[in-house]
Amino acid sequence: MTTDEKPTSTRLLLCAYGIAEYATALDHLDALRLVQVPVPQGTYNRVVSERRNLARLWWQANHGDPTWIDDRMEQVVTEARAWVTDHLPELEQLIESRRNQEN
């Protein structure tokens, strides 16, 4: 999804899912660091970057504002997780469909 495209509901769902999953991954990486398990900085930075890229797209699609401010991340993660929860059957169907295509 580029910034000039009108996102479909499927693309919004995948964007929300990505944001939620990257946010969860960062929570886990932070927990590992807290108990002194080494986490490569490059890996951590990549997850942060990917989440931010999706958050920008989400913000523009849902708020109509192309300007991204990192202070909005908590709001975007909350919105994305709620969107995924509200569309869980659709997401599960999409994931199952993709799995079947691979087999």
| Res 102: pLDDT | 82
* pTM, full prediction: 0.88
What's the average pLDDT block by block, 10 residues per block, for the chain (103 residues)? Answer: 65 96 98 97 98 97 93 98 96 91 82
Scan for tokens 């693309």, then name that residue.
11
Q: Distance between CA 17 and CA 15 in Å, rounded?
A: 5
Residues with Cβ within 8 Å of residue 15, at least 6 apart in sequence: 1, 7, 54, 57, 58, 61, 80
Are 21 and 85 spatial neighbours (Cβ–Cβ below 8 Å)? no
Q: Distance between CA 98 and CA 17 in Å, rounded?
A: 15
| Res 4: pLDDT | 53
Task: Count other C-beta atoms under 10 Å from residue 14's C-beta.
Answer: 17
Of 102, 1, 101, nearest in space to 58 by CA:
1
99 to 31, 55, 87, 89: CA distances (angstroms): 30, 26, 18, 15
| Res 50: pLDDT | 98
Sorted by where each begins, the domain ranges of the chain are 9-102
